[in-house]
Amino acid sequence: MLDLKFVRENPDIVKQNIKNKFQDRKLPLVDEVIELDAQARAAKQEADNLRAERNKISKQIGALMAQGKKEEAEAVKKLVTEKSDYLAKLEEKEAELNEKVKSIMMTIPNIIDASVPIGKDDSENVEIQKYGEPFVPDFEIPYHTDIMEKLNGIDLDSARKVAGNGFYYLMGDIARLHSAVIAYARDFMIDRGFTYCIPPFMIRSDVVTGVMSFDEMDAMMYKIEGEDLYLIGTSEHSMIGKFIDTITPETELPKALTSYSPCFRKEKGAHGLEERGVYRIHQFEKQEMIVVCRPEESKMWFDKLWQNTVDLFRSLDIPVRTLECCSGDLADLKVKSIDVEAWSPRQKKYFEVGSCSNLGDAQARRLKIRVKDAQGDKYFAHTLNNTVVAPPRMLIAFLENNLNADGSIRIPEKLRPYMGDKDIIE
């Protein structure tokens, strides 16, 4: 969420940013929110003046009663009551106007970084760099679930009976491989100085609206019926929510955390989850990383975060590339985002396995995450997040890039301690 003062003073910049994100339908909202804000501030000023006047008049009542001027005192009481009634209406009007302002401000997109390429959607994202040499073996690579089924590692039919499409049972060595990847990613991030955390897997609505846009919320979140709780779509949500309504001494920053959680997503608009695939599903597990830092350090941390994901995949011999997300592919709260994509030898192309985002102070402003400097002044922190690893997408890349001609799977050296020192799955 933008600073309302910034919107008042820079409406043209805000409108151009909306155009750059190809959301022209939101252009009228800028003038509308400025007008509503002016009305709210006018109502507040009138209410403040009326309170002062009422308090001044109220003091006269005691003096008049002491002088025996009962009729005059009663007249003043009546006047105070009238002003109180009118004040109540003004306060109600002010509250309604402020709620309208907040609602609109929650839909106006954050100002994107000047380095972000302008484009309508993910087809216009820009490749930055490749890491590792993509290769295609001289034998055919089966579909990822076929690889798993030959190793007795997945049961989609039973999962479909139990929960429907978008779910699966992982079995045997494939299930163990899944857990090994998560455990390795956890230790990888701990070794890089991040504090390990297991967060709540449900969050309240004020946290949901603090960490994401309404469009994202509608497309992703499962609501717990009858309670003010949502299943998390990623641990980033509850991890950022950890700092809601807090004031952190500047000397304690940055807060660099890595978290494990299951994730639950409606995947609304996905247009038919693959019945046999595990690329887009309703339930999965993930290792995440988040940072809360000073504004001047967010660019540095942004580069560190996406590099962590690249380094982890390369440590497992999986070729990857980084993509700069264009303006139209950025969610409304994001200032800048880089996707990490892994090489698929079967498809002979890269596919997304992680996304690194700098959200500036947008989440902090919504959630009131503040920092206090040495002088006692307070300001909003910057927040960032990135995927460390998210099986089963990671498993797809892993299986395809480590498949042998006989159908067995190589286990890279870094992962063997988490697989009982196995070097192959047969």
Which pLDDT tens digit goes with each residue over 378-403? 999 999 999 999 988 999 999 999 99
Across residues 13-28, what is the average pLDDT?
Answer: 98
Could you tell me the pLDDT band of residue 51, with boundaries at 50, 70 and 90? confident
Q: Is 110 inside a domain boundary?
A: no
pTM of the full structure: 0.90
Distance, CA of 78 to CA of 348 (rounded, Å): 82
Q: Does any domain span residue 116? A: no
- Look at residues 394, 412, 343 and name the one whose alpha carbon lies nearest to residue 131: 343
Q: Is 363 inside a domain boundary? A: yes
Q: What is the Cα gyration radius of the chain?
A: 28
**Closest CA relative to residue 189, chosen from 249, 134, 256:** 256
Q: What residue type is assigned to position 353 of the chain? A: V
Question: At which of 105, 132, 153 does a domain end?
Answer: 105
End position of a domain, from candidates 71, 105, 139: 105
Q: What pLDDT, on the 0 to 100 scale, is given for residue 240? A: 97
| 28 and 166 fall within a common domain | no
Nearest Cα residue to 29 out of 9, 47, 48, 15: 15
Q: 232-271: b or e for each residue (b if 16 or more CB lie within 10 Å)?
A: bbbbbbbbbbbbbeeebeeeebbbbbbbbbebbbbeeeee
Q: What is the dihedral of CA 105, 108, 114, 116, to 10 degrees?
A: 140
Nearest to 220 by CA among 206, 235, 230: 230
* CATH number of the domain encompassing residue 25: 1.10.287.40
Q: What is the DSSP string of 229-248?
A: -EE-SSHHHHHHHTTTTEEE
Q: Are strands 126-131 and 320-324 parallel, antiparallel or unpaired?
A: antiparallel
DSSP states along 254-303: -EEEEEEEEEE---TT-SS--SS--SS-SEEEEEEEEEEE-GGGHHHHHH
Q: Which residue has the tokens 């290792």?
A: 287
Q: Are residues 59 and 205 in the same domain?
A: no
Answer yes or no: do 382 and 246 share one domain.
yes
pLDDT attached to residue 7: 97
- 278: nearest Cα among 154, 140, 408, 407: 154
Establish whether the linkage from the previous residue to 262 is cis, with ω within 30° of 0.
no
pLDDT in tens, 264-297: 999 765 545 555 688 889 999 999 999 999 999 9
Phi-psi region of 417 (alpha: psi -120 to 50; beta: other; left: phi over 0): alpha
Say yes or no: 135 and 82 in one domain.
no
Peptide bond into 134 cis (omega under 30): no
Task: Judge if 276 and 324 occupy the same domain.
Answer: yes
User: Can you tell me whether residue 357 is helix, strand or coil?
Assistant: strand
Do 342 and 420 have their domain in common?
Answer: yes
**72, 105, 138 - which closes a domain:** 105
Q: Are residues 270 and 405 in the same domain?
A: yes
Three-state SS for 38-58 is HHHHHHHHHHHHHHHHHHHHH
Q: Is residue 117 part of a domain?
A: no
pLDDT, residue 208, reads 94
Q: Are both 356 and 257 inside the same structural domain?
A: yes
pLDDT in tens, 153-210: 999 999 999 999 889 999 999 999 999 999 999 999 999 999 999 999 999 999 999 9
**82 — pLDDT class (breaks 50, 70, 90):** confident
Do 181 and 264 sit in the same domain of this protein?
Answer: yes
In a domain, 113, yes or no: no
Work out the mean pLDDT of the chain and round it to a whole number: 93
Q: What does the alpha-carbon distance between residue 215 and residue 235 come to, in Å, rounded to a whole number?
A: 19
Nearest to 325 by CA among 352, 290, 304: 352
Q: What CATH number did the domain enclosing 252 receive?
A: 3.30.930.10
- Residue 42: pLDDT above 80? yes
Residue 258 resides in a domain: yes
In 3D space, the residue among 105, 381, 147, 77 whose CA is nearest the CA of residue 243 turns out to be 381
Give the angle subtended at the CA of 141 by the CAs of 139 and 142, to the nearest 5°. Answer: 135
Let me know whether 376 and 272 are in one domain: yes
Asked if pLDDT for residue 141 goes beyond 60, the answer is yes
* Paired tokens of 397: 């890349």
Q: Are residues 216 and 153 in the same domain?
A: yes
The answer to whether residue 43 sits within a structural domain is yes
Q: What span, in angstroms and rounded, lies between the C-alpha atoms of 39 and 31?
A: 12
Which residues, in sequence order, are CB contacts of 226 under 8 Å at separation 6+? none
Please report whether residue 360 resides in a domain.
Answer: yes
Q: How many domains does the chain have?
A: 2
Q: Are residues 159 and 49 in the same domain?
A: no
Q: The tokens of 92 are what?
A: 């109600």
Instruction: Provide the residue range defining the domain that includes 176.
Output: 122-425
Instruction: Write down the pLDDT at residue 291.
Output: 98
